[in-house]
Structure 1
Amino acid sequence: MNGPAGTAAHTAPAGQHQAPPTPTYAVYTRGLAKAYPGGQDAVRGVDMSVRSGEMFAFLGPNGAGKSTTVSMLCTLNPPSAGEAWVAGANVRTQPRLVRRRVGVLFQHSALEPDLTCVQSLKLHARLHGLSRSRARARIDRVLGAAGLAEHRHERVRTLSGGTRRRLDIARALLHEPRVLFLDEPTAGLDPPARALLWQQLRGLREDGHITVFVTTHYLEEAEYCDRLAIIDRGRIVAQGAPADLRSALGQETVRLRTGDNRRAAALLRTTHGCTVLDGGDVITVPVADSARWLPRLCATLAAHGVPAHTATATVPSLDDVFFHHTGRPYTPRSGTP
């Protein structure tokens, strides 16, 4: 294998894949699969590369295989086939090393409701074998980073959903992991709490040089991330930066409502060689770069005395990306959680 894109990584039998170059990749999988008794294939040969230090979204509808993949990456569920490396350690042969290097937040909080924030963190520190002095320093650090210093002596049961979720993240960061896995971290939160949580996650990535791997079924949340992978029915169907995935579709459009749509359509076809769709109230012009074309089209109309009453540009959404690769609309609540 000559590098992470080499074909040998895709064709070698399980157990014979070469490890990826580190520290370039925080998560690197080839052919990762999970099958359950009865023939149910939850994950079907996932190839995925997550660079160290980036914020990565694992996007897909419920039941697509997100949580199963994360459980394998965290060594909680053994793969049926394929290989995976997390923070430089192999999930099959070095599971203890993987666990020392990752922090994990699953969908349902495991916080003890009758403990205070500090007590909850102290318990977690003991489970990770931190010394008392190290635990005190780390507890102060993660509470401050999570904006929870003023809540340190409050019991978990009294915290709001968003505050409790931030405590979950603080606990996952206590032992200074290299990779932080967050499985549906905003599930059940209202929009303001979701926005605040994402603000914290971006701050953690920027301040702590940590890789943040987030699973979500919210399309808009994937826009916060550097790159994403879309999984559907156990397979990766697309992977890359959100803007790159959208632009690859080449379906940007300019929509115009003018004083004379018929004449406007004829002018734009003649002047620019555009394909113009006349929908009656508006005309639609498919373009490769709507930000560049919108002012050009309006200027052409103005030069020929055709007023443009409204002009809007639209770009493909991640919903369009999902439809392009799967042939069906994105339905985040379909399937089994």
Structure 2
Amino acid sequence: MPHVANIRDVAREAGVSYQTVSRVLNGHPNIRAETRQRVLDAVARLDFRPNRAARMLATSRSHTIGVLAAINGSYYGPTSSIAAIEDAAREAGYSTMLANPRVVDASSLREAVRHLIDEGVEGIAVLAPQTRTAQVLADLGAPIPIVTMQTELRDADAGLSVDNELGAAIAAQHLLSLGHRRIALVAGPDDWSEALARTRGFEGALRDAGLEPAAVAAGDWTAESGYLAFQQLRGHGFTAVFCANDQMALGLMHAAVERGLRVPEQLSVIGFDDVPESAHYLPPLTTIRQDFDELGRRAVATLLARVEGSPLEFPTALPPRLTVRASTMGAPV
């Protein structure tokens, strides 16, 4: 069985005491730069992995961030946000612990937060876009810092979301610029703040152009709901449709093609998220892109600053970006 390096092995390799190694690993400020680098080089050569439990006992800190993902389903946006948080936390020397309640109600949200606190996390990043989350967090009065992502629930966390309203407005403006005047909407679930923001942005851009949606159908983020939404929208004479996420756009295009419509010659379609597969839809999907990596970095930086008692806020939401592909073109004459 191969030998697993310990702190004394690192000390011998670096030519320092094991107490010096401990101080370097725990971020002690009074260490000469050359000594710190010698220890870090030895850690890398020996592939040393500090024991998390021992580190917690020595420092009274867990160096762990909790992630509360109150989401049922494998949605690209939340899944990407969780991965981004894990990457950013790892870069900062923290691990993550996930709580993902199967039932998303007030009781389950409270229990998930309390579970993470009991496990010793130093702060919690919340991915719970349901509109009820704001009151649950306010009532809980958690003793550790909490940040909310991809939501408009807390003003202090405004910079931890993509500007969903702006993104939907950009989508509408793109279709308007192509000459479309009868534009339908497939909205997301009405208990998600992101879905409500995208509906507001889309309808606001149409109003600015003196228009209203040609028709509106509600989906649940799945491709199946986009497929069914097309059945509801049929007969309203629209030439373009904004789907509040890419999966619903996929289902809608499937239904449209089954009914003999050509995309984009007879129907332009635009989505939201820019999932990796959207570039390979048939036709490739025009969509609104979100920077999930930057969201993860912002969330972790904000949370760790609050853990350390240092104020840090990103005052504005991340701007989304239009990605034009082959699913949109000029309105049919």
> Is TM-score (shorter-chain normalized) higher than 0.5?
no
More strand by share: 1
> Which structure carries more relative contact order (alpha carbon 8 Å, separation 6+)?
1
| TM superposition score normalised by structure 1 | 0.27
More helix by share: 2
| TM superposition score normalised by structure 2 | 0.27
